[in-house]
């Protein structure tokens, strides 16, 4: 499943770059037999969300990360533009692709 996600998002990112900023595509060029571009790290660290507790722990981490001392991007998780915190706290769905984690368990 992770492989499918990485492959799909890489293809979508390539299409988006070709459409909006083709001059940046060269930044992702690789010399490989099976691909011309690489958008993801070779061995990304995947955290398997095998229980509801682990899933919610990771979601809390993602929501609170912009507040971390070394980032200090916002004062509240809902204030970070690219966060789903507003969705979980206020029900505001800023992105059409948001899937409610609470419905997955």
DSSP alpha helix (H) spans, the chain: 2-20, 52-64, 85-90
Grouping H, G, I as helix, E, B as strand and the rest as coil, residue 37 is strand
CA-derived radius of gyration, the chain: 17
pLDDT for the residue 44: 60
Over the stretch 84-96, which tens digit does the pLDDT of each residue have?
Answer: 999 999 999 999 8
DSSP alpha helix (H) spans, 21-80: 52-64
pLDDT for the residue 92: 94
Question: Bridge-partner residues for 59, per DSSP?
Answer: none
For residue 84 the two structure tokens come to 């789903």
Q: Give the model's confidence band at 1: pLDDT under 50 very low, under 70 low, under 90 confident, else very high.
A: low
Grouping H, G, I as helix, E, B as strand and the rest as coil, residue 29 is strand
Over the stretch 27-41, which tens digit does the pLDDT of each residue have?
Answer: 999 998 888 999 887
């Amino acid at each position: 499943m992770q492989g499918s996600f990485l492959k799909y998002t890489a293809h979508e990112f390539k299409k988006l770059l070709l459409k909006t900023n083709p001059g940046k595509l060269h930044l992702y060029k690789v010399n490989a037999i099976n691909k011309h571009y690489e958008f993801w790290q070779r061995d990304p660290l995947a955290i398997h969300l095998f229980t509801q507790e682990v899933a919610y722990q990771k979601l809390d981490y993602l929501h609170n990360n912009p507040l971390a001392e070394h980032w200090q991007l916002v004062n509240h998780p809902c204030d970070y533009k690219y966060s789903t915190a507003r969705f979980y706290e206020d029900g505001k769905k800023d992105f059409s692709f948001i899937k409610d984690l609470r419905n997955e368990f």
